Every structure is written in structure tokens, then in C-alpha cells.
């Protein structure tokens, strides 16, 4: 709607959408009209792309014009939500995809579609599913870390907890090498992992407090410190990265 007063000119637009109220322009009229024209052209292009995509996904839509699809959407929504009878005109249109379509045919089609549609998970179930997926991803990361470098399982899990589940394996290695002696930080990061806590409790029958962490010492030659082992491993990782980059 264009409003032209003696001194003021403005454009008011309503798209009849529940989430969009009345829009009022605040630019000079000619500039506002150009902006509005460009906007409507973009909307039209996106609408055509959307319709083309849906027509390619569901060939039955090609039996109808866009106006007929809008009409069918309206009457089917009322039929589904308000339990009204479908007009004869809509049944005639639907007969293009179901010969002699009746109210009962539409009921059966809607019931079948509802049965085939996956039901959304409630929030708690979705969160539990995401946690299980993260746990499986974490296990794969930890397994690879323990195969590639001398870190304890708890330290590997701490790296995963700290960095998340989508980092490069070298990022977890570097974090583990830098923090493997910080037992307090590692414990705080993994305190919620019950399977680790239960395993440590079962293994704590013997007093191993005076022994060096075997995950490091088993890789160390006589006289090597944990820091030297970490330095050697980081150098090895760097060499592998250089080799792989030169090959690519």
C-alpha cells in the first residue's frame, strides 16, 4: 500500500504471515520502491526454486498448477485439523493422482503418511542419543591415541573431554603430551566417566603409587625422562606430517 499525504510519502506492506507484522518503509519513496521491487523479485525466484525442487522430488505435484497446490494445501489442512469434509472440487483435483478419489481415500492416505513419518525424539531421549554417539566417537579417538602415543587411557579421555569430538588426532596428542602430568586437571575432566572410575577402583587393590606410569616408561630407554619421551614423539609426529604434506 502506498500512502501519499501532502508532505509525507510512505510504503506499508503486509504479507499476511503470523510472524511478520505490518512493515513500513523509511527511505525516500523512489528508493523504497526499488528496494521493494528487488526484494519481491528475490522472493519470487526463491519460491520458483522451492517449487521446482518439490516437483522433482514428488512427480505427482506436476499434475497441478501452483494455484491448485495452494488451494489443496488449504482445504487439506482444514480437513486434517478441523475435521471438515473436503469440497467436491478438491476431490476432483485429487482424482488426477487417485482415480475417483473419495473422503475415505484421503483419510487412509493421511493415516499412512502419519504412520510412515518418524516421530521426533523428546528432549531427554535426543540428549541421551547424542551422548551415546559422542561416547562411541570418543572410544575411537582414545583407541587411536593409545596406539600412536604413550598416554594413559584417562589422559586420552581428558583430551577428548577438553577439546571435543571433531579435532585432528594430532591436536589430542599435543594436549595429552602437554598435560599428562597434571593429574588434578585430568581427574576433574574425567570425573563424570563412570566406566573409567569403576575400572580404576577395581584395579586399585595393589599399591602402585611408587611405580612410574607404564604407559610412559614402557616406551622409555634407560635414563630417559617422560619429557624426553614426549619430545621424541612430538618430533616423530612432525616428521610424519612433513612427509605426508610432501607426498600430497
By mean pLDDT, which of 1-15, 39-53, 132-146 is the weakest? 1-15
Question: What's the pLDDT at 245?
Answer: 41
Q: In the predicted model, is pLDDT for residue 92 greater than 90?
A: yes
Rounded to the nearest integer, the mean pLDDT of the chain is 74
Question: What's the pLDDT at 239?
Answer: 53
Question: What's the pLDDT at 6?
Answer: 52
Of the candidates 67, 59, 86, the one whose C-alpha atom is nearest the C-alpha of residue 75 is 86
Q: In the predicted model, is pLDDT for residue 15 greater than 50?
A: yes
Question: What's the pLDDT at 19?
Answer: 59
> What confidence tens digit (pLDDT) does each residue in 160-203 have?
989 888 888 888 888 988 888 888 888 888 888 777 666 666 55
Question: What's the pLDDT at 68?
Answer: 92
Q: What is the pTM (predicted TM-score) of this model?
A: 0.39
List of residues 6+ apart from 122 with CB closer than 8 A = none
Instruction: Indicate the Cα dihedral angle 183, 187, 190, 194, nearest 10°.
Output: 130
> What confidence tens digit (pLDDT) does each residue in 98-147 have?
899 998 898 888 888 777 666 665 677 777 788 888 888 888 999 888 88
- Give the strand pairing for 23-24 and 2-4: unpaired
Amino acid at each position: 500500500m502506498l500512502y501519499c499525504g501532502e508532505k509525507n510519502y510512505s510504503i506499508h506492506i503486509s504479507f499476511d504471515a503470523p510472524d511478520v507484522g505490518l512493515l513500513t518503509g523509511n527511505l525516500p519513496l523512489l528508493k523504497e520502491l526499488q528496494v521493494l521491487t528487488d526484494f519481491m523479485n528475490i522472493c519470487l525466484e526463491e519460491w520458483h526454486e522451492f517449487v521446482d525442487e518439490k516437483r522433482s522430488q514428488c512427480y505427482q505435484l506436476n499434475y497441478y498448477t501452483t494455484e491448485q497446490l495452494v488451494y489443496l494445501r488449504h482445504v487439506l489442512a482444514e480437513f486434517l485439523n478441523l475435521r471438515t469434509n473436503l469440497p467436491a472440487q478438491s476431490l476432483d483435483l485429487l482424482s488426477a493422482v487417485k482415480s475417483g478419489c473419495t473422503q475415505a481415500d484421503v483419510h487412509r492416505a493421511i493415516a499412512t503418511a502419519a504412520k510412515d513419518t518418524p516421530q521426533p525424539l523428546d528432549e531427554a531421549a535426543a540428549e541421551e542419543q547424542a551422548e551415546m554417539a559422542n561416547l562411541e566417537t570418543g572410544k575411537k579417538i582414545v583407541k587411536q591415541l593409545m596406539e600412536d602415543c604413550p598416554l594413559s587411557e584417562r589422559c586420552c579421555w581428558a583430551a577428548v573431554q577438553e577439546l571435543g569430538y571433531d579435532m585432528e588426532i594430532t591436536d589430542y596428542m599435543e594436549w595429552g603430551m602437554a598435560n599428562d602430568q597434571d593429574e588434578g586437571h585430568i581427574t576433574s575432566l574425567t570425573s563424570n566417566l563412570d566406566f573409567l572410575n569403576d575400572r580404576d577402583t577395581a584395579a586399585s587393590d595393589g599399591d602402585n603409587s611408587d611405580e612410574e606410569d607404564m604407559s610412559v616408561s614402557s616406551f622409555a630407554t634407560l635414563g630417559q625422562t617422560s619429557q624426553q619421551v614426549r619430545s621424541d614423539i612430538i618430533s616423530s609426529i612432525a616428521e610424519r606430517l612433513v612427509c605426508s604434506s610432501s607426498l600430497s
